[in-house]
A and B are shown apart, each in its own frame.
Chain A
Amino acid sequence: MVAVRDIIITGLLLGGVFALVSVGLSLEYGVARVLNVAHGEFIMLGAFLTFWLFSSVNLNPLVSILVSGVFIFVIGWFLHSTLFRRLMDSSPSLEVFEGQSMLASFGLLYVVQNIARLIWGSQTHQVLFLSRTVTGAQIPLNRLVSLGVVIVIGGAFYFFLARTRMGKAIRASAQDPTTAGLMGVNIHTVLAICFGLGLAMAGIAGTLISTVYAIQTNMGLQYTVIAMIVVVLGGLGSISGAMIGGVILGIVSQLVTYFQPTMTFIAYYAIFIVLLLVRPKGIMGK
C-alpha cells in the first residue's frame, strides 16, 4: 500500500509539471495554431536560466520563475509578431500555415538548442534546492513546492481566461479567429500574447524541472513529445484537457517507472495508440 501511495503522490507531482508544459503547448497550438516542435527547448532555456542565476548570483529558483517567465514571454511575443505573423499573412490557408509554422519551429529548435550548447556546453547540471525530504512520506520538498507553483499558476491562468477581457478575447480567437477579428479583437496581439504565454509556461516548467532533475541542453525533445501526447490525450486545443492529460500521464509515468524504468516511453505510446483508436478527439475534445 505504501508503494501505491508513493506512486500516486509522485505521479501527481510530476503530472503537475507535465500539465503546465502541456497547457503551454495547447495555447500555442490551440489558439495561435503553431504546432511548436521547439516547445521543449524553451523548457530547457528556463531550466538553464535558473541554473545560471542560481550558480552565479545564488538567486532563489522561486524568484527566477518570474525572471524566466517574463524573459521567455518576451521571446515568444517577439517570435510571433515577427516570424509567425509574417508566415500567417503569406499563407493562403490555415492548413498551409500549420505546416509552414511547424517547419519554422524546427528551425527554432536547432537555433535555441545550439545557442544554449554554445553557452552552457553539453554536460549535465543540477540546481540543488530544497532537496531535503519531508517527514512521513519520502517526498522531497522541492517537488511539493513545484506542485504548489503549478497549482497557483494554473488557478491564476484560469481566472485570467474566465474573468478578464483579454481572456475572453483569447477564448473567442481560439474558437474562430476571423470572427473574433470582426468583433474588434486585435487578433495579432492576442495570438502573440498566447504564443508568449505558452512559451512562458514552458519556461516556468523548466525552472521547476531544474530544481528536481538534472538538466542538459538536449533535454527539450523528450518534453516536447510528452507535451504532444498529453495535448492529444486531452483534446487538441483544450486547456482543461491538457491539465487532466498531464496528471494522467504523470501517474502512468511513475507507475511504469516503479516496475521497469526503460519501458516508460513505450507505455506513453501505448496510451497514445489506444486513445487514437478509441477516442481520437481526446478526453475533452469537441
Chain B
Amino acid sequence: MRTTTFTRTRIVSLVVLAAIFVVLALLPTFYHGYWITEITDILRYAVLTVGWVIFSGPTGYMSLATAAFFGLGFYIAAVFNGPLPFVLVIIISGAIAFIVAMLVGALTLRLRGVYFAIFTFALVLLVNSVVLEVERLVTGTRGRFVEQESTNVAYWAMLIVFAFTLVCAVAIRRSRYGLALQSIGEYEEAAAHSGINVVRTKVLIFATSAFFMGMAGAIIATRRSYIDPGIAFNMNTSFLPVLMAMFGGMGNLVGPVVGAAVFTYLGDYLLSHIPDLFMLIFGVVLILAILFMPNGIIGLAQQAWRKIRGGGGKQLESEPEGGRRAPAGR
C-alpha cells in the first residue's frame, strides 16, 4: 500500500520530526515551569488517541474502552509503584491492559460493530465495579495513595511512551497487519475470503492499542497522590480520544496528534478559566466538528492545500474517512 520511497519531502519531514523530539527531550534541562505538565498532558492524550486510531481508524470498529485500559494502568501504578521500579510498573500496566483487551476482543470481535461499541462502552463501568468489589473484599478500602514521581520523570516517561507508540503505529500501518486492517474496514467478508485471519488480526491489534493506553495510565497515576476507581475509570477518557481523532482526522497519524494537542490545550484553558461551561463547550464543539468537518482539521487543510496548488483535475483520494466507508453488510 505505502511503499517506502525516500523522497525529499519524506527526508525533510523525518528530520523535522527528529528535531522536535530532541527539543522536547531536552526541554526540562533548561526550562522549569507549567509547560512541562501541560506537554505531559498533551502527550498523554496523544498516546491515547494514536492508540485508539491504530485499531479503530482503519477497521471502523468504534472502541469505547480506552478508559478501561487507561484506568487499569492507573490502578496498577497505584498498587505497585514504590515496591517495584517505575519502568517495570509501566510495562506491567501495559501488559495487563494487553491481556484484558485480548479477552474482551476474543469475546466481542467476532460480532458486528455495534455490539463491539456497546460492549466496550459498558466495559469501563464493569472494570470499575470489579475493582471496587475486589478492593472491598481484599483490602476493605476505597481508593489508594500513590507513590509519586517527579514532574520531569513523568514527562520523560510519557515522551518515550509517545515515541514508542508513534513508531509502532507507523510500523503497524506499513506491515501486513496494517493492510489487513484496512481491508477488514473496507469489506470484512472479502478480507476473510482473501486469506486474512480476520479475528486474530483484530484481536491482536486491539490488544496492542490497549498496551499503549495502559502505559499512559500508569504514568499519569504517578502525578497524583491519591486515586480511587471513580478517578481512574472516568468515562471521559473513553470519549475524548474519539473526539480528538475525529477532530484531527484519521487519514494519517498527524491528525490524531494535532487533535490531541489542540483539544488538550483548549480543554485545560477552558477548565482553568470557565470550569462550569467546560464540558458544555466541548459537547458543542464535538457536534459541530462532526457536522462540518467529517474529515477533521487535516482533511480541511489538505483540501485547502489542493485548492491552492490548483490541481483541480485530481480528485480527493478515497480514504478521507480513514477507511470507514464499509459497505452496509447486514
Q: Residue B280 contacts which of A95, A110, A269 (CB distance < 8 angstroms)?
A: A110
Tell me, yes or no, whether A162 is within 8 Å of chain B by CB: no
Chain A, Cβ-Cβ closest to B246:
A103
Contact between A266 and B129, CB atoms less than 8 A apart: yes
| A114 and B122 contact, Cβ closer than 8 Å, known pairs A93-B325, A262-B132, A266-B129 | no
CA of A118 to CA of B287 in the docked complex: distance in angstroms?
20
Contact between B133 and A93, CB atoms less than 8 A apart: no
Tell me, yes or no, whether A23 is within 8 Å of chain B by CB: no
Contact between B290 and A114, CB atoms less than 8 A apart: no
Contact between B60 and A106, CB atoms less than 8 A apart: no
Chain A residues whose CB sits within 8 angstroms of the CB of B75 once the complex forms = none
Number of chain B residues whose Cβ lies closer than 8 Å to a Cβ of chain A: 45
| A225 and B121 contact, Cβ closer than 8 Å, known pairs A94-B328, A106-B286 | yes
Tell me, yes or no, whether A221 is within 8 Å of chain B by CB: yes
Contact between A222 and B125, CB atoms less than 8 A apart: yes
Chain A residues whose CB sits within 8 angstroms of the CB of B321 once the complex forms = 92, 96
Instruction: Give B contacts to A, CB under 8 Å.
Output: 60, 62, 107-108, 111, 113-115, 117-119, 121-122, 125-126, 129-130, 132-133, 136, 235, 239, 242-243, 246, 276-277, 279-280, 282-287, 290-291, 294, 321, 324-328, 330
| A263 and B290 contact, Cβ closer than 8 Å, known pairs A92-B325, A280-B115 | no
Contact between A262 and B136, CB atoms less than 8 A apart: yes
Contact between B284 and A107, CB atoms less than 8 A apart: yes
CA of A30 to CA of B188 in the docked complex: distance in angstroms?
23
Chain B residues whose CB sits within 8 angstroms of the CB of A96 once the complex forms = 321, 324-326
Q: Which of A8-16, A179-187, A271-279 contacts B (4 or more CB under 8 A)?
A: A271-279
Chain B, Cβ-Cβ closest to A260:
B133
Closest Cβ–Cβ distance, residue B110 to chain A (whole Å): 8
Contact between B111 and A280, CB atoms less than 8 A apart: yes
CA of A86 to CA of B291 in the docked complex: distance in angstroms?
8
CA of A111 to CA of B294 in the docked complex: distance in angstroms?
20
Other A-B pairs, 6, CB within 8 Å; known A222-B125, A236-B114: A95-B324, A95-B326, A96-B326, A115-B280, A221-B125, A280-B111
Chain A, Cβ-Cβ closest to B235:
A221
CA of A90 to CA of B129 in the docked complex: distance in angstroms?
39
Chain B residues whose CB sits within 8 angstroms of the CB of A108 once the complex forms = 283, 287
Closest Cβ–Cβ distance, residue B316 to chain A (whole Å): 13
Chain A residues whose CB sits within 8 angstroms of the CB of B107 once the complex forms = 273, 276-277
Residues of A contacting B: mostly: helix
Contact between B286 and A104, CB atoms less than 8 A apart: yes
Residues of B contacting A: mostly: helix
Contact between B117 and A266, CB atoms less than 8 A apart: no
Tell me, yes or no, whether A144 is within 8 Å of chain B by CB: no
Chain B, Cβ-Cβ closest to A280:
B111
Chain A residues whose CB sits within 8 angstroms of the CB of B62 once the complex forms = 99, 102
Tell me, yes or no, whether A28 is within 8 Å of chain B by CB: no
| A95 and B118 contact, Cβ closer than 8 Å, known pairs A103-B286, A111-B284, A280-B111 | no
Closest Cβ–Cβ distance, residue B244 to chain A (whole Å): 12
Contact between A107 and B290, CB atoms less than 8 A apart: yes
Chain B, Cβ-Cβ closest to A222:
B125
Chain A residues whose CB sits within 8 angstroms of the CB of B243 once the complex forms = 103, 106
Q: Residue B122 contacts which of A113, A115, A269 (CB distance < 8 angstroms)?
A: A269
Chain B residues whose CB sits within 8 angstroms of the CB of A94 once the complex forms = 328, 330
Chain A residues whose CB sits within 8 angstroms of the CB of B291 once the complex forms = 83, 86-87, 104
Chain A residues whose CB sits within 8 angstroms of the CB of B242 once the complex forms = 103, 106
Chain A residues whose CB sits within 8 angstroms of the CB of B136 once the complex forms = 262
14 contacts between A and B (CB under 8 A): A83-B291, A92-B325, A95-B60, A95-B324, A104-B286, A106-B239, A106-B283, A107-B285, A111-B287, A115-B280, A232-B115, A265-B125, A266-B129, A273-B107
Chain B residues whose CB sits within 8 angstroms of the CB of A263 once the complex forms = 129, 133
Closest Cβ–Cβ distance, residue A265 to chain B (whole Å): 4
Contact residues of A between 62 and 99, Cβ < 8 Å to B: 83, 86-87, 90, 92-96, 98-99
Chain B residues whose CB sits within 8 angstroms of the CB of A83 once the complex forms = 287, 291
CA of A104 to CA of B287 in the docked complex: distance in angstroms?
5
Chain A, Cβ-Cβ closest to B283:
A110
CA of A262 to CA of B133 in the docked complex: distance in angstroms?
7
Closest Cβ–Cβ distance, residue A175 to chain B (whole Å): 12
Chain B, Cβ-Cβ closest to A105:
B287
Chain B residues whose CB sits within 8 angstroms of the CB of A209 once the complex forms = none
Tell me, yes or no, whether A229 is within 8 Å of chain B by CB: yes
Closest Cβ–Cβ distance, residue A170 to chain B (whole Å): 19
Chain B, Cβ-Cβ closest to A92:
B325
Tell me, yes or no, whether A44 is within 8 Å of chain B by CB: no
Tell me, yes or no, whether A19 is within 8 Å of chain B by CB: no
CA of A100 to CA of B283 in the docked complex: distance in angstroms?
14
Contact between B117 and A35, CB atoms less than 8 A apart: yes
Chain B, Cβ-Cβ closest to A262:
B133
Chain A residues whose CB sits within 8 angstroms of the CB of B133 once the complex forms = 262-263, 266
CA of A236 to CA of B112 in the docked complex: distance in angstroms?
11
Ranked nearest first, the 8 interchain pairs of A and B with the lowest CB-CB distance are A110-B283, A107-B286, A107-B287, A114-B280, A111-B283, A94-B328, A107-B283, A265-B129
